[in-house]
Structure 1
Amino acid sequence: MSSTFAPESHFITARDGLRLHYRDYPCPAATRLPFVCLPGLARTADDFCLVAEAAQQSGRRVLALDYRGRGRSEWDKDWRRYNPDVEEEDIFAVLADAGVARAVFFGTSRGGLHTMRLARARPGLISAAILNDIGPVIEKKGLLLIKGYVGKMPPLQKMSDAAALMRLTASVAFPAITPEQWEIFARQTFEERDGKIALRYDPELAHTLDDITPECEVEDLWEAFAALAQHPILALRGETSNILSIETFAEMARRAPRLERHTVPGQGHAPLLLDQPTIERVMQFLNKQD
Structure 2
Amino acid sequence: MSAADGLRLHARDYSGPAGSGHLPIVCLPGLTRNARDFHQSATLFSNGSMAPAIEPRRVICLDYRGRGESDRDRNADNYSLTVETDDVQAALAALDVPRAIFFGTSRGALIIHLLAATRPTMIAAAILNDAGPVIEGAGLAQIRGYLTRLPQPKDWEQAVDILKQAHGKAFPALGPGDWREMAEAIYVERKGKIVSDFDQAIVKQLNAIDFNTQLPTLWPQFDALAHVPVMTIRGENSQLLSQTTVTEMEKRHPGMETLVVAGQGHAPLPHSAAIPAAIAQFLARASL
Q: Same fold (TM over 0.5)?
A: yes
2:23 counterpart of 1:26: no
Provide the secondary structure at the position in 2 that maps to 1:135: coil
Show the counterpart of 1:44: 34
Show the counterpart of 2:228: 231
2:157 counterpart of 1:160: yes
When structure 1 is superposed on structure 2, of 14-23 and 178-187 the one drifting more is 14-23
Letter of the aligned partner of 1:39 in structure 2? P
CA distance in 1, matches of 2:211, 2:229: 35
Of 4, 13, 17, which residue of structure 2 is paired with 1:15? 4
- Contact 2:2–2:91, Cα closer than 8 Å, also in 1: no
* CA-to-aligned-CA distance 1:20-53 (integer Å, 9 cap, x gap): 1001111222111111111110010111112212
- Contact 1:143–1:212, Cα closer than 8 Å, also in 2: no
CA distance in 2, matches of 1:48, 1:70: 14
CA distance in 2, matches of 1:102, 1:86: 20
CA distance in 2, matches of 1:76, 1:257: 40
- Contact 1:152–1:203, Cα closer than 8 Å, also in 2: no
CA distance in 2, matches of 1:188, 1:16: 27
- Cα RMSD between the aligned structures? 1.2
CA distance in 2, matches of 1:32, 1:171: 38
Show the counterpart of 1:275: 272
Show the counterpart of 1:262: 259
Cα deviation, residue 149, structure 1: 2.3
Of 187, 193, 198, which residue of structure 1 is paired with 2:195? 198
CA distance in 2, matches of 1:36, 1:122: 15
* CA-to-aligned-CA distance 1:245-285 (integer Å, 9 cap, x gap): 01101110110012000000000000012324221111211
Show the counterpart of 1:171: 168
Distance verdict in 2 for CA 1:155–1:122, change over 3 Å: closer
Please identify runs of 4+ aligned residues in structure 1 that moved more than 4 A.
none
* CA-to-aligned-CA distance 1:184-243 (integer Å, 9 cap, x gap): 000000011122210110111012212323312200000000001221111000000000
Letter of the aligned partner of 2:22 in structure 1? R
Letter of the aligned partner of 1:207 in structure 2? K
- After TM superposition, the score normalised by the length of structure 2 is 0.94
CA distance in 2, matches of 1:136, 1:258: 17
CA distance in 2, matches of 1:70, 1:151: 17
Letter of the aligned partner of 1:174 in structure 2? F
Show the counterpart of 2:249: 252
CA distance in 2, matches of 1:63, 1:151: 30
Show the counterpart of 2:65: 68
2:74 counterpart of 1:77: yes
- Contact 1:134–1:243, Cα closer than 8 Å, also in 2: yes
CA distance in 2, matches of 1:274, 1:260: 18
How many pairs are equivalent? 279
Show the counterpart of 1:4: none
> Where does the alignment leave 5 or more consecutive residues of structure 2 unmatched?
48-54
Of 179, 182, 190, which residue of structure 2 is paired with 1:182? 179
Show the counterpart of 1:9: none
- Contact 1:35–1:60, Cα closer than 8 Å, also in 2: yes
- Contact 1:42–1:150, Cα closer than 8 Å, also in 2: no
* CA-to-aligned-CA distance 1:116-157 (integer Å, 9 cap, x gap): 110110121101110000110110000111111225531321
When structure 1 is superposed on structure 2, of 118-127 and 53-62 the one drifting more is 53-62
* CA-to-aligned-CA distance 1:37-82 (integer Å, 9 cap, x gap): 1111001011111221222122211111000000000110111111
Of 199, 208, 211, which residue of structure 2 is paired with 1:211? 208
